[in-house]
Structure 1
Amino acid sequence: MAPDLKTSVQVSEQPVLGPADNTPGPSIPPSIVPSRSSTELERKSTSRSHNSVYDEEAAAPRSAFSIIEPPVALSAITTHTTHVRDPNPDDTFPDGGTRSWLVVLGCFFLLMSSYGMMNSTGVLQSYFATHQLSDYSTSAVGWIPGVFTFFGLVLSVQVGPLFDRYGPTGILIFGTGCYVAGLLLLAECTLYWHFILTLGVLTGTGAAFLSTVAMAVVPHWFDRKVGMALGTAMAGAGLGGVTFPLVLRAGFSRFGYKWAIRLIALLVGIMCALGIALVRSRLPKGQSRSSINLRAFKDTRFTWLTLGTFSLELQVFAGLGLYPTYVVMQGFSTSTSVILLSLQNVCSTIGRLIAGGFADKYGRINTQTTLIIIGVFAIFVIWLPFGNTLPGLYVFSCVFGLASGSFLSLAPACIGQISKASEVGGRFGICYSVVSLATLLSIPIGGEMLENVGKQAMVAFLGGVLIVGLGMFLMARWACLGYRWRWHAKI
């Protein structure tokens, strides 16, 4: 009998009797029990060892940052890192290689065009408020980028399952067509409802198709390095937030409004074409079990992460949309507001790249909560007391940009960490369909506060929302530990 099957055999402790005289015969090797197969016993032995993991881990020594492994029945930690998940070959991740990083590069361009424009809506809003829509209030103009971001996220609940079933190429082609057509029509807009339909609805729909695929496809290729991979892809959003404001600023002054928007449409078309060429799905088409399934909220980890992401997106998009207007209201020029917004996006790009590596090493939720604390510090210690000075605004743009870079990039990594690879698209869509409500209301609410309550109250409100988000992510971390708190757990 091979030595590796000893867990599935029983050893006879009595000597074997001879066939004739009932005298003890020679000892023989252990025999397999005939009424129970070795496969069945091995499976039961494995099940017993799995169920005892959680009880034994408290007494076993662990390193400073170790993954806490729950019992099979407890939904409490990443499914990509525990040894209790089903042996599905689709859940074996390349975690590198030329093909994987080409997918990340394609997602970089897709997020540069979609989220990059979302990060630049403050420049467009400021221009609309002083030109075509000068007769409207700040909060009324704020609904335009609000609707754009809302459609860019709410449709994820439909796009995610479509991506899981049919792959990325067709979805990306359709999204590119909507996006570029919306921008070309935006160049011709003169009335308020024109902007709502073109930038808000049509361009937002295109952004939803592009960004959902870009965020959902990366966890198909990465597991241990998914934080770094998503951070690298999301760096495209930060770079887009730098590029688009500078291009718009130069285009408005040199070529006028129409040709500036057309130039943006050309850049977006090139980026999307590169994304279509590079992005591929790893899972076979039609084999995904993902669907629009609200039962995902039975997983408390997913519920807390969704609520936390809701708070982060409300704060981030309200800040990005109103920051240029805030700077102008402080008495500084429009050029200064564009430079400060671009500086924040530059630092945000750097923050995403750095945060991804730290997240893979120390835990994604751990890294996210730490950077949220830094963001709260930047708002209440720098922006609130020194927001009326130019040095204070420059320091805030740098510090908050570095911290907030992870707010959007690590949230999908956290969702992917607690989900099966085949469920990532669906769960991502459900999460961001809820989060889209925050982006719809963030800029109008902030604009109303900016006009009627004051600049300081708006800043304090944004800081308070960030504190709420911090609490939600701490609750998600607690849930990942089975509501047994451990400071040194890698979560």
Structure 2
Amino acid sequence: MATDTKSSAMVSTGPALGSLEETAGPSIAPSRAPSTDLSRSSSAPGVRNETDAPSTAFSILEPPAPLSAITTHTTHIRETNTDDTFPDGGTRSWLVVMGCFFLLMSSYGLMNSTGVLQNYFATHQLSEYSTSAVGWVPGVFTFFGLVLSVQIGPMFDRYGPTGILIAGTGCYVAGLLLLAECRLYWHFILTLGVLTGTGAALLSTAAMAAVPHWFDRKVGMAMGTAMAGAGLGGVTFPLVLRAGFARFGYKWAIRLVALIVGVLCSLGIMLVRSRLPKGQSRSSINLRAFKDTRFTWLTLGTFSLELEVFAGLGLYPTYVVMQGFSTSTSVILLSLLNVCSTIGRLIAGRFADQYGRINTQTALIVVGVFAIFVIWLPFGNTLPGLYVFSCVFGLASGSFLSLAPACIGQISKASEVGGRFGICYSIVSLATLICIPIGGEMLEKVGKQAMVAYLGSVLVVGLGMFVMARWACLSYRWRWQAKI
């Protein structure tokens, strides 16, 4: 990996917004790639005038932070090392995306399907427990699926993905096979929550960290394509579980899921590779990343998004049943939401590369807020209203999980991507731990409408955090047309 280079630039795929002035060094030809020119300019002697207009939407720094404290995701110029030159395409790059697609389909796909498991446990093995108590089972699963990323991210940067993926597959499949034998509450916590969650953490962290190693300008499209696997898994697993519970019973339905997961993970192990040599990256758990306020705002915004999304996915089937509709209808509505979420991920990634990742994320959060307060809250007691909500919110929420890593990746050096993902998602994991129990408690104590209003309010907070992140990228100088 190239030695860290002081840089005040971030990669931008759009046209320059202004000129970059220097007190020394040759002039920069406008036809050259922005990342290359900015790397040269940052290494030139002299002091940059902070009042100069930025060269790109991503090149503005937050004064008075020193240049060495600013993280970048840029192409560094060295005489003999070109590791930071991103392929941004080609057969090898897209095979990695395909492998990440399969890994995220098995890990995040099952996380998106916890509502079906939550509803089944609450009416069968754990029927004597309250909704909020049962909610801790999928909550612990999702929590472990994210909190361990703080250790797994640096491991990925140092040792590559293969060993991590093999260990993750073993934990995941073993946890599901043991889940099929569970009868008591603590059985579910240990198998689905701890063991399967650990496997999901190994798989999903390696998958999300691999894509930004191969893409830069097209990272939004690539990440959206990979994260579409999570949406497809959210469609496939509820249908498999529904049919399996009805035809084969609980044990063989879970074993069937374990078989599907094993096949998907095996494909991921074969396809996913790291672009950087093992041991060359020096990423570590470094809380100083929060000195970059762009990263801080993005972490808080992602926390809010995951708090809302996983609570919604986990409680949506229960909410539908409480409205008087059948369990079959609840599964269909959840599957429809995940179908639209898959489409949303694919579309959002392409728009993000064209108009800016944070811009696209912010716009889609607005659509999500609209779907909750204008469709779900007033019309959630009608079947047409629920179908419309599933479509609209699915299209919007598809980006909530897929673009968040792309937003973090664009403000980070390639060697720090895994470490920053780990730090961010270890904090975000707290949201996934408490979201379903809190929502379940609200369903029982204050009612369905209050729970929906609460989820919408959390999404409004997330919107504010992403607006602040965009503002921080512009050194707190607002530009409506900036591509961020």
Q: TM-score, normalised by structure 2?
A: 0.88
SS of the equivalent of 2:83 reads helix
Partner of 2:360: 367
Letter in 1 for 2:219: V
Within-5 A mapping of 1:279-294: 279-294=272-287
Partner of 2:218: 225
Aligned equivalents of 1:236, 1:43: Cα separation in 2 = 40
Letter in 2 for 1:259: W
Of 425, 428, 441, which aligns to 2:421? 428
Q: Is the 8 A contact 2:25 2:44 kept in 1?
A: no
Within-5 A mapping of 1:183-332: 183-332=176-325
Within-5 A mapping of 1:152-171: 152-171=145-164
Cα shift at 1:229:
0.2
Aligned equivalents of 2:114, 2:421: Cα separation in 1 = 23
Within-5 A mapping of 1:96-115: 96-115=89-108
Cα shift at 1:91:
1.4
Of 43, 48, 54, which aligns to 1:51? 48
Q: Relative to structure 1, is the Cα distance of residues 223 and 73 closer, same or farther in structure 2, using a 3 angstrom cutoff?
A: same
1:78-121 per-position Cα deviation (integer Å, ceiling 9, x unaligned): 8335x8x5646221100000000000000000000000000000
Q: Is the 8 A contact 1:70 1:77 kept in 2?
A: no
SS of the equivalent of 1:89 reads coil
Aligned pair 1:128/2:121, yes or no?
A: yes
Aligned equivalents of 2:73, 2:351: Cα separation in 1 = 18
Aligned equivalents of 1:217, 1:44: Cα separation in 2 = 27
Letter in 2 for 1:141: V
Number of residue pairs matched? 443
Q: Is the 8 A contact 2:70 2:292 kept in 1?
A: no
Cα shift at 1:55:
3.5
Cα shift at 1:67:
2.4
Cα shift at 1:74:
5.7
1:164-199 per-position Cα deviation (integer Å, ceiling 9, x unaligned): 110000010000000000000000001110000000
1:370-391 per-position Cα deviation (integer Å, ceiling 9, x unaligned): 0000000000000000000000
Aligned pair 1:148/2:141, yes or no?
A: yes
1:140-173 per-position Cα deviation (integer Å, ceiling 9, x unaligned): 0000000000000000001001111100000100
SS of the equivalent of 1:189 reads coil
Of 172, 183, 188, which aligns to 1:179? 172
Q: Is the 8 A contact 1:120 1:244 kept in 2?
A: yes
Q: Is the 8 A contact 1:69 1:77 kept in 2?
A: no
SS of the equivalent of 1:91 reads coil
Q: Is the 8 A contact 1:76 1:479 kept in 2?
A: no
Aligned equivalents of 2:333, 2:408: Cα separation in 1 = 31
1:356-401 per-position Cα deviation (integer Å, ceiling 9, x unaligned): 0000000000000000000000000000000000000000000000
Q: Is the 8 A contact 1:153 1:208 kept in 2?
A: yes
Within-5 A mapping of 1:357-396: 357-396=350-389
1:223-266 per-position Cα deviation (integer Å, ceiling 9, x unaligned): 00000000000000000000000000000000000000000000
Partner of 2:31: none
Letter in 2 for 1:271: L
Q: Is the 8 A contact 1:306 1:431 kept in 2?
A: yes
Q: Is the 8 A contact 1:242 1:346 kept in 2?
A: yes
Identity %: 85
Q: Give the CA RMSD over aligned residues.
A: 2.0
1:308-339 per-position Cα deviation (integer Å, ceiling 9, x unaligned): 00000000000000000000000000000000
Aligned pair 1:67/2:60, yes or no?
A: no
Cα shift at 1:129:
0.5
Structure 1: tracts of 5 or more residues without a match:
1-6, 10-41, 61-65
Q: Is the 8 A contact 1:305 1:415 kept in 2?
A: yes
Partner of 1:34: none
Q: Relative to structure 1, is the Cα distance of residues 68 and 437 closer, same or farther in structure 2, using a 3 angstrom cutoff?
A: closer
Aligned equivalents of 1:334, 1:156: Cα separation in 2 = 34
Letter in 2 for 1:120: S
Aligned equivalents of 1:67, 1:173: Cα separation in 2 = 40
| Higher alpha-carbon Rg | 1
Q: Is the 8 A contact 1:68 1:77 kept in 2?
A: no
Q: Is the 8 A contact 1:76 1:482 kept in 2?
A: no
Q: Relative to structure 1, is the Cα distance of residues 90 and 390 closer, same or farther in structure 2, using a 3 angstrom cutoff?
A: same
Q: TM-score, normalised by structure 1?
A: 0.87
Q: Relative to structure 1, is the Cα distance of residues 248 and 70 closer, same or farther in structure 2, using a 3 angstrom cutoff?
A: same
SS of the equivalent of 2:279 reads coil
Aligned equivalents of 1:159, 1:347: Cα separation in 2 = 30
Structure 2: tracts of 5 or more residues without a match:
1-23, 27-39
Cα shift at 1:69:
2.2
SS of the equivalent of 2:93 reads helix
Aligned pair 1:477/2:477, yes or no?
A: no
SS of the equivalent of 1:150 reads helix
